Structure 1
Amino acid sequence: MLAALEVITTVVVGLMVGVEFAVAFVMNPIFNGLPDDSNQSARSHGGRMLGAVMPFWYIGSLVLAVIWVVAGRHRGGTGLVVIAAALLILSVVMSLLLLVPINNRGKTWTAETRPADWKEQLSRWDRYHYIRVAIIVAAFTLLVTALV
């Protein structure tokens, strides 16, 4: 049963990392190459779509990691899972404090309602997101290491 939990947790976190990596290094650069109206519209739509799913994914990943820590507390590698869980907590806190406020504003913008500094706000979101991606990649790496 623990082995299944370990694999499920690692897959769930790994898929989350893949989506967030793709947002940072594939989708947003593509959107940034579009004309302003299309760029902002695509990012607003992405913010609405992923903003509805990602809270469950981040919290779910954290819950799975915590269950892994508790269930596997007597097995080797648990320390790595504890650190991974701490990094996932950091990613959730960082999301709530830094990324979600920008995303909540950005997902409501249209070409007519966006503020003058919309590009600066999206650029700030991107910088925070790069840091968050690095954090969850580190968490994923620790989970994989603990698994093997």
Structure 2
Amino acid sequence: MLSALEVCTIVVVGLMVGVEFSVAFVINPILNALPEDSGQRGRSHGGRMLGAVMPFWYIGSLVLCTVWVIAGWQRPGVDLVIIAAALLIVSVIMSLLLLVPINNRGKTWTTENRPKDWKEQMNRWDRYHYLRVVIIIAAFALLATALA
């Protein structure tokens, strides 16, 4: 049973890392290269779509790590899972304090109502997101190492 939990946790966190990595290094660069306001409209749509899903994914990943720690308390590698869970907590706090406020504004923007500094705000979101991606990649690597 514990093995199934470990694999499930790694798959869930790994998929989350893959989505966030692709947003940072594939989707947003594509959107930024689109002409006129197409990129901003695409980012607004992505903010609405992923903004609805990602909170559950982040919290779900953290819950799975917590259950892994509790169920595997006496097993080798649990210290790595604790560190991974701590990194996921950092990513959630960072999201709530830095990324979500920008995303909540950006997902409502249209060409008629967006602020003049919308590009600057999107660039700030990107910088915070790069850091978050590094944090969750580290958490994923620790989980994989704990299983090995």
TM-score (norm 1): 0.99
For residue 48 of structure 1, report the CA deviation from its aligned partner.
0.1
* Inter-partner Cα distance in structure 1 for 2:36 and 2:104: 19
1:25 paired to 2:12: no
For residue 35 of structure 1, report the CA deviation from its aligned partner.
1.7
Q: State the percentage of identical aligned residues.
A: 77
* 2:132 aligned partner: 132
Aligned residues: 148
* 2:90 aligned partner: 90
* Inter-partner Cα distance in structure 1 for 2:140 and 2:55: 17
| 3-state SS in 2 of match to 1:36 | coil
* 1:50 aligned partner: 50
TM-score (norm 2): 0.99
For residue 83 of structure 1, report the CA deviation from its aligned partner.
0.1
Structure 1 portions without partners, runs of 5+: none
Pairing 1:68-107 to 2, within 5 Å after superposition:
68-107=68-107
- The amino acid across from 1:49 in the alignment is M
* 2:16 aligned partner: 16
RMSD: 0.4
* Inter-partner Cα distance in structure 1 for 2:12 and 2:36: 34
For residue 36 of structure 1, report the CA deviation from its aligned partner.
3.3
* Inter-partner Cα distance in structure 2 for 1:74 and 1:112: 58
* Inter-partner Cα distance in structure 2 for 1:72 and 1:91: 23
* 1:116 aligned partner: 116
Structure 2 portions without partners, runs of 5+: none
